Amino acid sequence: MSATRKRKPIATGSDWNFAVLERFDTQLASLADEYRLDTYPNQIEVITTEQMMDAYASVGMPVGYHHWSFGKQFLAVDQAYKRGQMGLAYELVINSDPCIAYLMEENTLMMQVLVMAHACYGHNSFFKGNYLFRTWTDASSIVDYLVFARRYINQCEERHGVQAVEQLLDACHALQSYGVDRYKRPSPISAEEEAKRQDERETYLQTQVNMLWRTIPGLPEGSSPLLASLHSDDDPLGLHSGGHYPSEPQENLLYFIEKNAPLLSPWQREIVRIVRKLAQYFYPQRQTQVMNEGWACFWHYTLMNRLYDDGDVDEGLMLEFLQSHAAVIYQPPFDSPHYSGINPYALGFAIFIDIKRICEAPNDEDQAWFPDIAGTPWRETLEFAMRNFKDESFIQQFLSPKVMRDHKLFLVVDDDQAETLEVAAIHNEQGYRRVRDALATQYALSVREPNIQVAEAAIRGDRSLTLHHVQDSRRPLGRSVYPVMRHLQQLWGFPVHLVSLEEGRVTRRYHWPIEDENSTA
Amino acid sequence: MTYFIDRRPNAKHKSAVNRQRFLERYRKHIKRSVEEAVNRRSITDMERGEKISIPTKDISEPVFQHGPGGARNIVSPGNKEYVAGDKISRPKGKGDGNGSGEGGASNQGEGVDEFAFTLSREEFLEFVFDGLELPHLQRKPLKSLEEVKMVRAGLSRDGVPSRISITRSMREAYARRIAMRAPIKRALKDAVEALDAEERKDSVLRNPTRITELKAEIERLEKRIAGVPFIDTYDLRYHQLSAQPQPSNQAVMFCVMDVSGSMTQNHKDIAKRFFLLLYLFLEKHYEKVELVFVRHHTAAREVNEEEFFYSRETGGTIVSSALNLVNKIIEKRYPTSQWNLYVAQASDGDNWDDDSNICRDLLIKQLMPQLQYYAYVEITPHDHQSLWQEYESVVNEFPDRFAMRQIVEAGDIYPVFRELFKRRLSQS
């Protein structure tokens, strides 16, 4: 679109002030509107370097409970920043309504505008549009919930001591990636609701747990047998049906702990719940890194170019922007000393840009590979891609041969039973599909993280807990398995067993406390 | 809709609690590093924080993850020469038996074995004192010498011109001008309005006398407004000064150490820690602290810090040689009118037979009257000898300013130090 060039940019040079930022925001907002970007209201906070480091240290959460690991994070960021190994400037944005984004005071004007375009219109619209965020998070209540969580944990520290709470949090953190429901939509978290239901829940939960464990000989007499006493409403997961507890494997370890661990006190269950709820909130982010960053990069790129075309920024600012943009979407090759895996910004940006290209100017290859989208209106297609996928399916669906060629992607199979690594496929006609499948799989959380589920709680025996690790391609668990089991045992209160299974065959058993292998084998 | 919020004035150090928790959790590790640093560092080099490293494995937060082994597919960018079917020999030294070494995109921190961070100076000192089994050094205000400092103490209406507070004077003047002009301005406004009303009347009804009167009135009022003085002596405000007694801001500490054959390296380390504490203590109270190192056997010599603690020269013991030297140095370089004088002496208490009473006399007659404080530590597991006994009479003479304690092992240093400084020191 050729707009007539205005003579006067909104501002020049690298200094900024609030009036200028507001004028840029107005401009960006009207462009975003023109492109039909649907966003939450923006809350842009101007902060100092140190505040930015604070924010980084708490995963960007505007309020967080206290824990040593956030301190460690802070020190790491602080150190890296002071040594110049890391720029802080880029972005930090919170999936909340209003959507909170931070601008660092020492950024140049260009950076502020870039971050606004990237975070306030890119990420923001992603949070509001993508199905995972829509399904799993409630942007309007997260900040309230954080406030609730922080206050609750503070109270626990006062009542039960910092150390007791810290140990509990350590254990919960170790299991937090296993604290999410992958298939079931959670009820929205609301602070008000939480507070209201909390007391109720404490007592209710405890009675549930007591009822479960009442079947163990030696507990108070006259109590009714477990199964008869439970209505189906009390047991929505069907944990009690069948002679086996739980009747189905449970993937949400923290949920299982919260509901069933015999020895936890009510406040401990509540903290388990808090960690679980926060893990659930961050779960979509872990699955949409490439898409989310790609989308934000696509829009900052598009919006900045429009600002330039409309004459709102001058050449100097644009040059500075292009340099910064190029650095962000740079993908070092695998043999570079700077290589640290695939850069999600680079990959995501490349795919979105390529979708637009396929829509606007498809060639024969595109027609063959993407008959559904070649030649369609790009804005609608992009919106569809953003809304309905996660990294895994997004790559499977939209990674084009061109992007694979541009990035020179290739697939290596590393089998410890083979002498050498083998290049299984490269970016050519024979290889495209395999490379694409493999890259998509690489982003599947189920492949990135070991598949571990609760298999059985011995409610009639020694109260031990058994987990199953469903092993794939002979990939064993790492050494950290023992420290994690120690944490798990601490939560559960009784011995914990973990069995690795591949194709139904046991490959390895782990126990905590460590017992004599021979006695159980 | 966008809201801009300036958070910069908000509290910083949001992570302070978390940082504190981290330090608390790794107290042992950090303490070890700090202790090493203290032993490595010189007494005068306590100005900076300390870089601390903790092995990454000790602070990692464990999660379930894949270990090395099995078969995996890795997609990487940047292929230059490979074609499908190529075999690549395994990169060496990677991932073997190391739980975190996975190829592929998701791993960070490979090859980083140490988690390094920097303690601030305050944190560092806290750990230094913590190593001595007390978390906070109690601050004792040392009483001042004769020096006073003039400090601003509000404003007054009279004073010397050099002390005029310009802003306050101007503000007063401004207020006065507003106050003085207000009634005149009100009258002026009324007159202008009246004139206006008069002039708007039909020419037949106009009263020319009234108009002339009003015009004269307006002119008079305008003159009066212009006549309000811009600044009046009445407006002037002067900074008031008052004399405040001030701790003299420089101090010198004499570190006196016996280096006779019986003082082992262990003894010297204990002494060093003691001197270090005293130095830090003084440093909290004085802007400038100097150190003088005096070592002695049969003869005393002023030396640098390095030589003080590590020289191997040795011999018999004549304590008075050191006291004499201290006295000479004071006379020559540190007039009592300008310096707060401290002496810390470390010895195993062994002295040449006839020397101890000489020391006593020297102290009572010459040194003590000039000193703020004299701390004697005897590092010995044995019974006291003549020096200790003679010093006891010095304590009797100067109970507030002369203190002596025995140290048997490193753990005694801090308690002893604290005891030595527990009372408020008074002037002679």
A50·B13 Cβ contact <8 A: yes
- To the nearest whole angstrom, how far is the Cα of B194 from the nearest Cα of chain A? 45
pLDDT of res. A1: 46
| Rama region for A80: left / alpha / beta (φ>0; ψ in -120 to 50; rest) | alpha
Best residue in A334, A437, A485 for a mutation probing chain B (most B CBs within 10 Å)? A334
pLDDT of res. A133: 93
CB atoms within 10 A of CB A291: 28
Q: Residue B302 burial (CB < 10 Å; 0-12/13-18/19+)?
A: middle
The dihedral sign for the CA sequence B212, B215, B217, B220 = negative
pLDDT tens per residue across span A368-421: 999 999 999 999 999 999 999 999 999 999 999 999 999 999 999 999 999 899
A47·B7 Cβ contact <8 A: yes
Q: Select, from the ranges A32-36, A517-521, B58-62, the one with the highest average predicted confidence (pLDDT).
A: A32-36
Q: Which of residues 81-120 of B touch A (CB under 8 A)?
A: 82-90, 99-100, 103-108, 115-118
pLDDT-derived band at B337, boundaries 50, 70, 90: confident
Say which range, B5-19, B55-69, B88-102, B403-417, has the weakest mean pLDDT. Answer: B88-102
- To the nearest whole angstrom, how far is the Cα of B86 from the nearest Cα of chain A? 5
pLDDT-derived band at A199, boundaries 50, 70, 90: low
Is some CB atom of chain A closer than 8 A to the CB atom of B70? yes
Best residue in A28, A252, A421 for a mutation probing chain B (most B CBs within 10 Å)? A421
Count Cα neighbours of B193 within 13 Å in the Cβ-side half-sphere.
6
Q: Note the residue count of chain B.
A: 428
Query: What's the whole-number average pLDDT of chain B?
Result: 80
Tell me the chain B residues in contact with residue A18 when contact means C-beta distances shorter than 8 Å.
4, 6
Say which range, A260-264, B29-33, B142-146, B250-254, has the weakest mean pLDDT. Answer: B142-146
Say which range, A168-182, B103-117, B276-290, has the weakest mean pLDDT. Answer: B103-117
Tell me the chain B residues in contact with residue A178 when contact means C-beta distances shorter than 8 Å.
64
Q: Note the residue count of chain A.
A: 521
What are phi and psi for residue B402, nearest 5 degrees?
-125, 125
Bridge pairing between strands B250-258 and B238-245: unpaired
Say which range, A243-257, A453-467, B83-97, B276-290, has the weakest mean pLDDT. Answer: B83-97
pLDDT of res. B92: 63
Best residue in B6, B64, B102 for a mutation probing chain A (most A CBs within 10 Å)? B64
A48·B63 Cβ contact <8 A: no
The residue among A57, A257, A483 whose CA lies nearest residue B63 is A483
pLDDT of res. B45: 74
pLDDT cut 90: percent of chain B above it: 18
pLDDT tens per residue across span B160-215: 888 888 888 899 899 999 998 999 999 999 999 988 888 888 878 888 888 888 89
Say which range, A184-193, A222-231, A260-269, A417-426, has the weakest mean pLDDT. Answer: A222-231
B78·A335 Cβ contact <8 A: yes
A51·B12 Cβ contact <8 A: yes
pLDDT-derived band at A154, boundaries 50, 70, 90: very high
pLDDT of res. B127: 77
pLDDT tens per residue across span A71-106: 888 888 888 777 766 555 457 888 899 999 999 888
For residues A459-496, one letter each, b for 16 or more C-beta atoms within 10 angstroms of the residue's C-beta and e for the rest, the string is beeebebbbbbbbbeebbbbbbbbbbbbbbbbbbeebb
Helix (H, G, I), strand (E, B) or coil at A82: helix
What are phi and psi for residue B75, nearest 5 degrees?
-100, 130
Distances (CA, A) of A6 to A40, A307, A311: 30, 11, 5
Query: What's the whole-number average pLDDT of chain A?
Result: 86
Top pLDDT among A501 and B94 is at A501
DSSP-assigned letter for residue A477:
B
Top pLDDT among B340 and B45 is at B340
Mean pLDDT of B405-417: 79
Per the listing, tokens 């960053």 go with A293
pLDDT-derived band at B277, boundaries 50, 70, 90: confident
A71·B15 Cβ contact <8 A: yes
pLDDT of res. B47: 66
pLDDT of res. B413: 78
- To the nearest whole angstrom, how far is the Cα of A458 from the nearest Cα of chain B? 23
Q: Select, from the ranges A451-465, A475-489, B57-71, B149-163, the one with the highest average predicted confidence (pLDDT).
A: A475-489
Is A23 within 8 Å of A10 (Cβ atoms)? yes
Backbone Cα Rg of chain B: 38
pLDDT of res. B101: 35
Mean pLDDT of A163-173: 95
pLDDT of res. B248: 61
A43·B3 Cβ contact <8 A: yes
What ipTM did this prediction achieve? Answer: 0.84
Q: Residue B351 burial (CB < 10 Å; 0-12/13-18/19+)?
A: buried
Is A465 within 8 Å of A440 (Cβ atoms)? no
Alpha-carbon A13 to chain mean position: 37
- To the nearest whole angstrom, how far is the Cα of B30 from the nearest Cα of chain A? 13
Q: pTM for this structure?
A: 0.72
Statement: residue A301 has pLDDT above 90: yes
Which residue among A66, A428, A474 places its CB closest to the CB of B17? A66
pLDDT-derived band at A214, boundaries 50, 70, 90: low
pLDDT tens per residue across span B374-387: 889 898 888 888 88
pLDDT of res. A439: 96
pLDDT-derived band at B30, boundaries 50, 70, 90: confident
Count Cα neighbours of B171 within 13 Å in the Cβ-side half-sphere.
7
